[in-house]
Amino acid sequence: MTLRTIDSLGSLQGKRVIVRCDLNVPLTDGQITDDGRVRASLPTLTALLAAGARVVVVSHLGRPDGQAVAKYSLAPVAARLGELLGQPVAFATDTVGASATDAVGALADGELVVLENLRFNAGETSKVQAERIAFAEQLATLGDALVSDGFGVVHRKQASVFDLASILPSAAGLLIQTELEVLERLTEKPEAPYAVVLGGSKVSDKLGVIGHLLPRVNSLLIGGGMLFTFLAAQGHKVGASLLESDQLDTVRGYLAEAERLGVKIVLPTDIVVASKFGADAEHTITAADAIEDTPYGAAGLGLDIGPESAAAFAAIIRSSQTVFWNGPMGVFELAPFAEGTRTVAQALTEVGGLSVVGGGDSAAAVRILGFSDDQFGHISTGGGASLEFLEGKRLPGLEVLGW
């Protein structure tokens, strides 16, 4: 089957088009701290407005668990969207109530409204199919068609992602098309040399990706909290660093499989070890096999890859034609432990071929560390969805669109 695109919906002049975006942005005191997902939604919204559609934007934000929670309101997002579009954007204070009905009814061709957080209604994320469908049917009364463009949620069987797409004529938006094109380049005949850089806290979150990509890559670089499970699997002591003891045998299996396939699994040779978790912690650089030999002993915490390792990772990245990176190399939010992530990010900007930042914490890190989106080949908007795609899983929010 072929993914249905906006063209399949025919003329949209005067039609009410519900657009399922992923506007789940970070907020601090009601202020957006990273508007990357809002900006990523612009191409689809702009195209629909230009086609004369009456655009109804729906999204989730945070996890309010079916309750109306003020700090998870999409009001700041609607305001930012209006600024980026350069036109007024209406905001409904509910999702399927009187405010939404009135706001959608008041739309003229080429106008847009944002509805309040979908997850204020328990039906959006319900595990009970009948409850999801009931909510989707309420949403469907507000539109004539659905454009699904929230790539970050296509791995979820939720009312606005899956059930609504079965009720209304539906198609994928431009963002989902772009994400799929890039991710398929990472899995179907990627240009070699191909390096995958994985970080983040838990190796268990990445096991599926490692297993699926090992036969496809030339190098697998491991940083972040997950590296300590790899070090422990090799017999090294890791102090008080993050460790998933229940994954040691699995990791040993991947190390053996990589050797059989001729894939280089590259682990850090030096580590930044701290006395405690905090920006003010005492810290030192030590060899990766000597974490407990620092003054902090068994209480030492590995919080970043060391400069020698960062330089080695960067050299492999720069010499590759295809690079996928998911997960920071250390606790980048704390200045003393951000250099590994910064060095990796800088190297990705110097890749001659395709460089992909795999959403989630990696996308947040590059922006917090001062990089701009256009320095990379692609920054994914869907951390979990990207990983599940790269694991080879079928994603319900895509399957319902014909993929």
> By residue range, what is the domain housing residue 137?
6-177
What is the predicted pLDDT for the residue at 322? 97
User: pLDDT digit string (tens) for 129-154?
Assistant: 999 999 999 999 999 999 999 999 99
Q: Omega of the bond prior to 193 within 30 degrees of 0, cis?
A: yes
Residues 116 and 217 in one domain: no
Decide the pairing of beta strands 16-20 and 54-58: parallel
Nearest Cα residue to 165 out of 184, 149, 183, 146: 146
Counting DSSP H helices and E strands in the chain, the numbers are: 15, 17
d(CA 270, CA 42) in angstroms, rounded, equals: 42
Residues 107 and 131 in one domain: yes
Q: CA of 346: how far to CAs of 7, 9, 132, 217, in Å?
A: 38, 41, 43, 21
Residues 92 and 213 in one domain: no
d(CA 294, CA 303) in angstroms, rounded, equals: 14
Catalytic residues: 37, 202, 360, 384
Domain edge (last residue) among 151, 177, 203: 177
Decide the pairing of beta strands 301-305 and 270-274: antiparallel
Binding-site sequence positions for (2R)-3-phosphoglycerate: 37, 119, 156
Binding-site sequence positions for ATP: 206, 302, 333, 359-362
Domain edge (last residue) among 117, 150, 177: 177
What is the predicted pLDDT for the residue at 130? 98
Question: How many distinct structural domains can be found in the chain?
Answer: 2
Any domain includes 325: yes
- Residue entry with tokens 């650089």: 285
Binding-site sequence positions: 22-24, 37, 60-63, 119, 156, 206, 302, 333, 359-362
* Coil, strand or helix at 16: strand
User: pLDDT digit string (tens) for 320-376?
Assistant: 999 999 999 999 999 999 999 999 999 999 999 999 998 778 888 898 899 999 999
CATH number of the domain to which 240 belongs: 3.40.50.1260
* Coil, strand or helix at 199: coil
What is the predicted pLDDT for the residue at 157? 95
Residues 100 and 195 in one domain: no
Any domain includes 184: no
Binding-site sequence positions for substrate: 22-24, 37, 60-63, 119, 156
Any domain includes 403: no
Which residue type is seen at 185? R
Any domain includes 397: no
**pLDDT by residue, tens only, the chain of 403 residues:** 589 999 999 999 999 999 999 999 999 999 998 898 999 999 999 999 999 999 999 999 999 999 999 999 999 999 999 999 999 999 999 999 999 999 999 999 999 999 999 999 999 999 999 999 999 999 999 999 999 999 999 999 999 999 999 999 999 999 999 999 999 999 988 999 999 999 988 888 888 899 999 999 999 999 999 999 999 999 999 999 999 999 999 999 999 999 999 999 999 999 999 999 999 999 999 999 999 999 999 999 999 999 999 999 999 999 999 999 999 999 999 999 999 999 999 999 999 999 999 877 888 889 889 999 999 999 998 878 888 998 888 999 999 999 8
